[in-house]
Amino acid sequence: DTAVSQTPKYLVTQMGNDKSIKCEQNLGHDTMYWYKQDSKKFLKIMFSYNNKELIINETVPNRFSPKSPDKAHLNLHINSLELGDSAVYFCASSTTSGSPYNEQFFGPGTRLTVL
Amino acid sequence: QKEVEQNSGPLSVPEGAIASLNCTYSDRGSQSFFWYRQYSGKSPELIMSIYSNGDKEDGRFTAQLNKASQYVSLLIRDSQPSDSATYLCAVNPGAGSYQLTFGKGTKLSVIP
């Protein structure tokens, strides 16, 4: 199936731990994103990578570090987890070649719960 | 600060009626506009994109764009209970921009 996939789907962890979320897309897109959706369902961009280069870095704590080993993968590492980090994290991808309009396609999400 | 505003709802319509969802945006130079549908516990799913003033139809869905009024809407004809979801409006500032700004979503309930 062509899609954006994320692992894990659920992540439950203790405050202070370090965790990673992985994202992969096989759509041939050149741009990938991390979004956070809070308990009020507001979807907010965190980071964006284009061809492995960071192009958007919104105001997020530096405990969050994205890494893009290649243009099909974008991982998110979170250090020293806090209660307020509990949310659903979505990965998305789009292509900037052939279309100027940036249609983004989302992965299934990772529900992070920090206890 | 670029903003995208939507009524949070819930918007309730009877089955078979037309559901009308509205969105306004603050950045007058915005170029492309999207509607996403998000079922509870699921990820946003792109259902419509519109780039030019006027209407764009796809099946039971019609997106309408008025750049002068900075307004975009989504009409769902013959609403079905399966259309019950939160609808997110998203705006891209311009060609070459990677940014999408989302509204907070409108929750739609279609009553059988």
Neighbours of B93 (CB within 10 A): 18
Taking CB atoms and an 8 Å limit, are B32 and A108 in contact across chains? Answer: no
Does residue B79 carry a pLDDT above 70? yes
Smallest CA-to-CA distance from B104 within B33, B50, B43, B23 is with B23
Taking CB atoms and an 8 Å limit, are B99 and A56 in contact across chains? Answer: yes
Spell out which residues of chain B touch residue A94, defining contact as CB-CB under 8 Å.
98
Give yes or no for B100 touching A (CB within 8 A). Answer: yes
| Contact assessment for residue B47 and residue B36, using Cβ atoms and an 8 Å cutoff | yes
Among B34, B99, B105, select the one facing A103 at the smallest CB separation: B34
Taking CB atoms and an 8 Å limit, are B32 and A100 in contact across chains? Answer: yes
Distance from C-alpha of A91 to C-alpha of A44, rounded to nearest angstrom: 11
* Tokens 């061809």, located at residue: A51
Give yes or no for A42 touching B (CB within 8 A). Answer: yes
Per-residue pLDDT of chain A (115 residues; tens, 9 = 90+): 769 999 999 999 999 999 999 999 999 998 999 999 998 888 999 988 888 788 777 778 899 999 999 989 999 999 999 999 999 999 999 987 656 677 899 999 999 999 9
Give the confidence band of B12 by pLDDT, cuts at 50, 70, 90: very high
Q: Structure tokens of B87?
A: 């609808």
A11-31 CB burial, b ≥16 within 10 A, e <16: bebeeeeebebbbbbeeebbb
In DSSP terms, B38 is beta-bridged to B86
Convert B52-92 into a string of H (helix), E (strand) and C (coil). Answer: CCEEEEECCEEEEEECCCCEEEEEECCCCHHHCEEEEEEEE
Distance from C-alpha of A96 to C-alpha of A94, rounded to nearest angstrom: 7
Taking CB atoms and an 8 Å limit, are B43 and A44 in contact across chains? Answer: no
Cα angle A44, A46, A47 (rounded to 5 degrees) comes to 140
Q: Structure tokens of B4?
A: 């995208």
Give the confidence band of B97 by pLDDT, cuts at 50, 70, 90: confident
